[in-house]
Chain A
Amino acid sequence: MRLFQVLALPFVALMFVVSARSLLSGRVRPVASAFWMLVWLAAGTAIVVPDATTRVAKVLGIRRGADLLVYCMVLGFLVGFYVVYLKFRQLTREITVLTRELALRDVRDGTERDHSSAAAARN
C-alpha cells in the first residue's frame, strides 16, 4: 500500500460514514446524503484502484483518468458556486424583507413617528 493510500483512505472512509449517518439520522435531505456517499465511494475506489479512473475516462472518450478528475472538479466547483450564489441572493432578499418589516413595525409602534395622519389631513 502506498503512503498516499494510507493517508487518504481513512479520511475518505470517515467521510463516507459521516454521510451514511446523516442519511440515517434524517437531518439532511436523503438525496444530498446519498449523493455524498456516492462521491466518497467513488473517491475511495479511485484511491484503491487508480486505474479505475482511467477506465471510466476511456469509456467517456477522455484519455487519462487524471483529466477526468480535473473535469469533474471544475464542473463541481461551477455547480457549487452557482448554488452558493443562489443561496446568497436568497439571503439578500430575506435581509431586505426583514429590514422592511422592521421599518414598518417601527412606524406602527411609534418608534419612527408616523406622520401619515398629518400628511393625509392636508389633502
Chain B
Amino acid sequence: MRAAPERLAGVWVVVAAYNEAGVIADVVGPLVGAGYAVVVVDDGSADNTAGVARAAGAATVRHAINRGQGAALQSGLRYALDRGARILITFDADGQHAVDDLPRLLQPILAGEADVVLGSRFLEHTAAVPPLRRLLLRAAVVFTGVASGVRLTDAHNGMRALTRGAAEQLDLRLDRMAHASEIIDQIARARLRVVEVPVAVRYTPYSLGKGQRAGNAVRIAWEYLFSKMNS
C-alpha cells in the first residue's frame, strides 16, 4: 500500500536515533524510497549514525551529546517545521515500524478527521507482542489514561502523525522515555482530535534489546508525574 506521491508533499518523517548505524539505513532507505522527506536526529551517537543516515538519503541533525529520545524528537520536529512541514511523522530508528503502515497513519489527517494519529499495536496484530512487554504496555496505557484523561489502546507506540498545527503546540520537556506520556498529555491539553490506527510492531532481538526494560517503567512514571506536579 502506497500513498500517492503528491499527497506526500510536505510530509516529514522524524527519526530519533542513538547508536543505530547498523540499522538506520534499513529504516531510512524504505522511507526515502516511498517518497517521504526524512530527518534523522543523531542523538550524540558514538558511531556513524548520522553519516549512514545521510548516505541513505535523510537530512540529519546532530546533537553534540546524548539528550534522550524526547529531546531528539523535539529537535527533529523543530527542524521539519522550520522547513515548512505540513504533516510530521515520528518513527522509531530500530526497525520496529513498517513503512507500509504510514498511508494508513496519514489517512485520517489527509481526510481532515484528526490532528494527531497514533499507531497502536493492540488494535490488531496483538499476537506478536511478548507477554511481559504486553503487560508493561497495558500498565502504561492505564497510567497514561488516568494521568492525561485520554483513553488509548497503546500509549507508548513511537509511530505517530501530527498536523503542523498539532506539532507546533508540542513542547517536549521530558528528555527521555517519559516523553511518550508527555505527548499524550499535551495533546489532551491542547484538545486536539486524536485517532488511533492499527500498526504492526516488529519485535526483533535488536529492537527488544533497545527497548525499555521493566525496571525503567517506575522511573518513567516518576519523571512524568513529577513534571505534571511542577508544570
**What are 14 A-B interface contacts by the 8 Å CB criterion?**
A92-B175, A99-B75, A104-B79, A107-B61, A115-B54, A116-B39, A116-B83, A118-B57, A119-B38, A120-B83, A122-B57, A123-B5, A123-B10, A123-B11
Q: Is there contact, CB below 8 Å, between B63 and A103?
A: yes
User: Is A42 engaged at the interface, CB distance under 8 Å to the other chain?
Assistant: no
The main secondary structure of chain A at its interface with chain B is helix
Q: Is there contact, CB below 8 Å, between A115 and B60?
A: yes
Number of B residues with CB within 8 Å of any CB on chain A: 35
CB-CB under 8 A from B11, the residues of chain A are 123
Q: How far is the CA of A93 from the CA of B78 in the complex (A)?
A: 16
Q: How far is the CA of A31 from the CA of B116 in the complex (A)?
A: 46
User: Is A102 engaged at the interface, CB distance under 8 Å to the other chain?
Assistant: yes
Count A-B contacts at CB 8 Å: 81
Q: Which A residues contact B (CB, under 8 angstroms)?
A: 86, 89, 92-93, 95-96, 99-100, 102-104, 106-107, 112-116, 118-120, 122-123
The main secondary structure of chain B at its interface with chain A is mixed
Known: A100-B71, A103-B64, A119-B37. 14 other contacts (CB 8 A): A92-B175, A99-B64, A99-B75, A102-B64, A104-B78, A104-B82, A107-B59, A112-B62, A114-B59, A116-B37, A116-B79, A116-B83, A119-B38, A123-B8
CB-CB under 8 A from A86, the residues of chain B are 230
Nearest CB in chain B: distance from A17 CB, A? 36
